[in-house]
Chain A
């Protein structure tokens, strides 16, 4: 058995590679390689106005801009000692539902399902099963429409500001979305049933899960930072428990919780909060074979589908009770201080911290995306998963290891940025190379 090296992983957001070292029939090392110099955006934010992070950080990722906007707003409002009123919070949650719908539909249908159905990519799946892919795209589009109606446009929403929104959407505009979201809800329900029929390897893990936890809500925009290991803190206490360190093979930082490896994302959110899902969503989860928690990363596709159903459900509930916030945003005067914000991006907890001066200049910024938090847990998954499968062909094992990475929907663009690619000859034949 030789070592496995995949220089550029397919179907992860951004670019990353994986490397597994096998020695004397044992896996001695598993590395998720992430390529680009990190933290550009943190540096870019220093010296900028305290009102700018929602717009600037939304550019970090094309898939989860709302997460960046929401965590940055939460942190800056915390620094300024302001809490937006409930109608603003609800509208933010509604916008975030749109992003969960978009991101989860994309991952379930085009990035993850092909692994279980034996297709090389979502494109190959679409050739044989266009109806399935059309269904996924319809659900995704319902999320786009929601993002457009609340956020002003479907990617990089322009309506979000510190304190709330530039403009509250007209209730009729949101009501008009109900048929599309109702259809998406039905199709999400069908999605949950569909993915529950896939074959899943027996691979339960002993993760320490980290997610926001809220007394009554399934967490999206607020909650305490909690873990299955007993952590229960406010976002302001994050830095006292979570540390980041550099590792040689990756330019994304590795996170640890009091020195321990942990996992954030749908599995963690679900396992810490499944009791807060609406009864019908819990029922769908049970029917799909999920218990109150889920520790098999391959089954994350079911959890993501359950969250997709929840996001549709929640969006319908929020539209049903919508009252335009008036004014659409609170005035947030700057003051000297540091603020902390955590929200649940589709891929897991996203932490922002900003220090601002009295005149509203940012002097320090810290952003910890979910993928860099999960990097070590993904490597541990790979190491243990590969160890049980060394008898497989090299090709098969490589495929399964890539799948083990995709289980976590890593957004390597967020954790770092991108990788250079080299054209070998002419225009089509392209090979991934590491940035030098």
Chain B
């Protein structure tokens, strides 16, 4: 199974970036062997969410002081040497959960992460234009990869 997980708080402006990517992938009729999930809040739930998945993509918002809309990509095959922060209201950052999963032998065989740098995380705010564009870009990229994977597999 290929799993796409969008993470974020829909009530906190650009924090919803990951959720928006997940929704758009779902709306764009992702290949049938792709499951799309949304996660708001406790990121430790990832450990259960990705159990049994062969390949996982995780998309999350980031506030690291970079230019809003910047997209970061990482492959969890390499240990994440420092925190790849999510600035929502979570105890564990995405990097923490990945490293915890690695320590517990609960990482999926292949895990790719996308971080989208946010501009505003105010309650009730809409996505900023920069993040809206980044959400479009990540969605398009991911859909292309998912389809290429499928055609390779098929």
Chain A residues with CB under 8 Å of chain B are 11-15, 40-41, 44, 56, 59-63, 65, 102, 106, 110-111, 121-123, 126-127, 130, 133-134, 137, 140-141, 144, 154-156, 413-414, 417-423, 427-430, 433
Q: Cβ of A427: which chain B residues have Cβ within 8 Å of it?
A: 64, 72, 74, 84, 115
Tell me, yes or no, whether B54 is within 8 Å of chain A by CB. no
Tell me, yes or no, whether B88 is within 8 Å of chain A by CB. yes
* CB <8 Å contact, A155 and B41: yes
Q: Cβ of A62: which chain B residues have Cβ within 8 Å of it?
A: 9, 40-43, 88-91
Q: A126-B103, A428-B81, A430-B83 are in contact. Are A155 and B40 (CB under 8 A)?
A: yes
Q: Cβ of B66: which chain A residues have Cβ within 8 Å of it?
A: 423
A44 to B122, CA, bound (A): 10
A102 to B90, CA, bound (A): 13
Taking residues whose C-beta sits less than 8 angstroms from the other chain, chain B's interface range is 35 or more
Q: Mark B81-96, 1 if CB is under 8 A from A, else 0.
A: 1111101111110001
A421 to B100, CA, bound (A): 22
A-B complex: 7 closest residue pairs judged by Cβ atoms: A62-B41, A155-B41, A422-B65, A413-B89, A126-B103, A423-B64, A59-B11
Q: Which one of B12, B42, B87, B121 contacts A63 once the chains associate, using CB atoms below 8 Å?
A: B42
19 CB < 8 A contacts A-B: A59-B10, A106-B44, A111-B91, A121-B96, A122-B100, A123-B100, A141-B48, A154-B42, A156-B40, A156-B41, A417-B89, A418-B89, A419-B87, A421-B64, A423-B65, A423-B66, A427-B72, A427-B84, A430-B84
A121 to B82, CA, bound (A): 13
Tell me, yes or no, whether B80 is within 8 Å of chain A by CB. yes
A56 to B91, CA, bound (A): 20
* CB <8 Å contact, A41 and B44: no
* CB <8 Å contact, B65 and A420: yes
Q: A40-B123, A421-B64 are in contact. Are A428 and B9 (CB under 8 A)?
A: no
Q: Cβ of A41: which chain B residues have Cβ within 8 Å of it?
A: 123
* CB <8 Å contact, B100 and A63: no
A14 to B88, CA, bound (A): 8
Give the Cβ gap from B81 to chain A, nearest Cβ, in Å: 5
Q: Cβ of B60: which chain A residues have Cβ within 8 Å of it?
A: none
Q: Cβ of B85: which chain A residues have Cβ within 8 Å of it?
A: 421, 430
Q: Cβ of B42: which chain A residues have Cβ within 8 Å of it?
A: 62-63, 102, 106, 154-155
Give the nearest-CB partner of B96 in chain A. A123
Q: Cβ of A63: which chain B residues have Cβ within 8 Å of it?
A: 41-42, 89, 91
Q: A127-B103, A420-B63 are in contact. Are A13 and B91 (CB under 8 A)?
A: yes
Q: A62-B40, A144-B45, A155-B40 are in contact. Are A44 and B80 (CB under 8 A)?
A: no
Tell me, yes or no, whether B154 is within 8 Å of chain A by CB. no
Q: Cβ of B121: which chain A residues have Cβ within 8 Å of it?
A: 417-418
* CB <8 Å contact, A422 and B87: no
Give the nearest-CB partner of B85 in chain A. A421
Give the Cβ gap from B44 to chain A, nearest Cβ, in Å: 7
* CB <8 Å contact, B89 and A13: yes
Give the Cβ gap from B22 to chain A, nearest Cβ, in Å: 15
Q: Cβ of B14: which chain A residues have Cβ within 8 Å of it?
A: none
Tell me, yes or no, whether B47 is within 8 Å of chain A by CB. yes
Q: A137-B47, A422-B64, A430-B64 are in contact. Are A60 and B100 (CB under 8 A)?
A: no
Tell me, yes or no, whether B141 is within 8 Å of chain A by CB. no
Tell me, yes or no, whether B153 is within 8 Å of chain A by CB. no
A13 to B103, CA, bound (A): 21
A130 to B11, CA, bound (A): 35
Q: Cβ of A60: which chain B residues have Cβ within 8 Å of it?
A: 89
Give the nearest-CB partner of B39 in chain A. A155
* CB <8 Å contact, B123 and A421: no
Q: Cβ of A12: which chain B residues have Cβ within 8 Å of it?
A: 91
Select the residue from A13, A15, A155 with max chain B CB neighbours within 10 A: A155
* CB <8 Å contact, A137 and B91: no
Q: Mark B1-40, 1 if CB is under 8 A from A, else 0.
A: 0000000011110000000000000000000000000011
A433 to B87, CA, bound (A): 12
Give the Cβ gap from A129 to chain B, nearest Cβ, in Å: 10
Contact residues of B between 45 and 59, Cβ < 8 Å to A = 45, 47-48
Q: Cβ of B91: which chain A residues have Cβ within 8 Å of it?
A: 11-13, 62-63, 106, 110-111
